[in-house]
Structure 1
């Protein structure tokens, strides 16, 4: 069983979710799984098209602001699987500003992708973005759907996907904090809650931020089978990639003084994360998100020069700062990618207090913690 905790969300910190999440109470218009979510969602098996040896997956971001892990985790996990051609795409040329931290440089713009793959992507991954109603992206997503591609929203990327009209009549989900807003703005979508990801034909969606891990593994299963998916999950250190979930737990708050916010009156500490060639982009993204969403830390990526640094799967990270790096402030290379989040939350709890770690877990909609990582964050 997963364990959940209840605590306050400071208004200032919750505003960091402006790209994707609007705080809200549970709306009666939100559809709840009548079966109690006892069965696992399954993405339809991949159907080969155009004589391609592998499906083409486009992970698309908007330059003005894209949720970091929503973009990086699907890119990293699907690249690591080796079962697809994975391409990073930006709405326009230039740097992608990731939120809440880091900067990336995509391989192609929307126009360049269309020139390389005129028949379209087999799957398009849509992260939460700051400009949820980006007309250029909405038009492109509509065109990709028209070419037969499946659309996969991560977190409140579902809001942008819903704006295309393609979600009408489909089951879907997104971050717990946007339930009321989504139901009001898109009443023709069958919004689900208490579920990690939803697969409804060619419309696939996931819950908040950390759900990008299980839905990415579920996509590997659709392409290459359950054995391959399980093997990759084990390699990444992900013990459960089912759709079982309780978003209701994240709606709760408590005035328990033991979980009072301890760092909200303090200026965030600057933490440098050195970049190195070949580093694990999944672990990097999880670590940067956790520290940033704790409210205690402002993450800054640093390198010995200003050139973009290529990660394990050829994603380019643009350093925030050029510094002389004397030591490596990174997670151990042997740590499985998915476990970087638990490790970061443990460190945050020790250094800044359990409330800071609990805050990061709530923003990231992360319910599962290892036994050791739960210390100080849970009730009995």
Structure 2
């Protein structure tokens, strides 16, 4: 029997074994809803800025917390990069234990300190805590530490599904919040007193802020910069990043599980014979926002995965002092096995350019699957 025949027979058996799956698939909507992001009243925007203004230090101390075995790539790297780029706060990358933080779906980082070392150096606590998505929403060390930091007066900011971690700590009970569209029902089931706010990329309520998907880390950090240092500073950083606006507008109805999303994921996962690994060359001084967005996107196609490489196994220090641990020590790779972080473009352009490249390689459906996972409104709106 030929290899092709074996493959197609295998696919047929898989399909036959999924008798109940077909009905579920047909029950999904055929497309995302046509939705327009409503304007955010100025008084609401002003209230958010007021709630984020630091009250403990003139120059705030920000801690970005991660667990060592699986912390979301963009959630962990982008807030650190943007805040350090702005130079309006002291920013420390933390891990629960010693050793590198393995990010998912790609990259690994050496943190600046453990939470125990941070507590010893700063017994009064941080001004702000950034909480990325993590593989364990209820990690005991993280939950206990977040509660302790909140008691010391820190404002806790959950990025994307990091809101579930904040919720597991009990810090969202009875408060307004949002999170990534895919995890919303799970978060509300676990913490039923949370008051979900639709059509907002970010929501703040009494010492806690939350955002929608992964890509919302950019507007959230610019909003925090504005709260700390004023509008002019935020505009300067936004221009440097290549972002025109960063307000809380969002069309929540555009993000949901649909039949095209599910069928594309299924088809890509079943194409087990056609997986690709792309290398990203780490360079000293490279931009972390572009790196995170590109590695994240290429690792969410269900057809490809991004790995990092450098000429030696030593860590590579990026533009804003983040220490990336190479996955491989390779001097170079063939061009067809590499992907660019677009160093000659603005960092925010990297995601659109990567999604366009993914669409050219795997089709618009796969690019939309990636954008939907990132809850990235610009690309979804254009498809």
Cα pair 1:64 1:131 within 8 Å, conserved: no
Whether 1:300 and 2:302 are equivalent positions in the alignment is no
Name the CA shift for 1:257/1:251 in 2 (closer, same or farther; >3 Å).
closer
How much does 1:210 deviate? 0.6
Partner of 2:316: 309
Partner of 2:297: 290
Gaps of 5+ in 1: 1-24, 27-34
Partner of 2:114: 109
Cα pair 1:57 1:125 within 8 Å, conserved: yes
Partner of 1:177: 182
Q: Which structure 1 residue ranges, 4+ long, deviate > 6 Å from structure 2?
A: 256-261
Alignment of 1:1-380 (within 5 A): 38-39=40-41, 41=45, 42-43=48-49, 44-49=51-56, 52-254=57-259, 263-267=268-272, 268-325=275-332, 329-369=339-379, 374=382, 378=383
Name the CA shift for 1:332/1:177 in 2 (closer, same or farther; >3 Å).
closer
Gaps of 5+ in 2: 1-27, 30-36
| Secondary structure in 2 matching 1:251 | coil
| Secondary structure in 2 matching 1:136 | helix
Looking at structure 1, the residues matched to 80 and 106 of structure 2 have their Cα atoms a distance apart, in angstroms, of 17
| Secondary structure in 1 matching 2:137 | coil
Task: Note the alpha carbon deviations across 1:133-159, whole angstroms, 9 max, x for none.
Answer: 001111111111111110000011111
Cα pair 2:54 2:127 within 8 Å, conserved: no
Larger helix proportion of the pair: 2
Name the CA shift for 1:97/1:259 in 2 (closer, same or farther; >3 Å).
closer
Cα pair 2:38 2:249 within 8 Å, conserved: no
Comparing 328-337 with 134-143, which one deviates more in the overlay?
A: 328-337
Name the CA shift for 1:370/1:79 in 2 (closer, same or farther; >3 Å).
farther
Equivalent residue pairs, number? 339
Task: Note the alpha carbon deviations across 1:162-197, whole angstroms, 9 max, x for none.
Answer: 111121121111000112111211011112222100
Looking at structure 1, the residues matched to 221 and 311 of structure 2 have their Cα atoms a distance apart, in angstroms, of 33
Looking at structure 1, the residues matched to 263 and 208 of structure 2 have their Cα atoms a distance apart, in angstroms, of 42
In terms of Rg, which structure is larger? Answer: 2
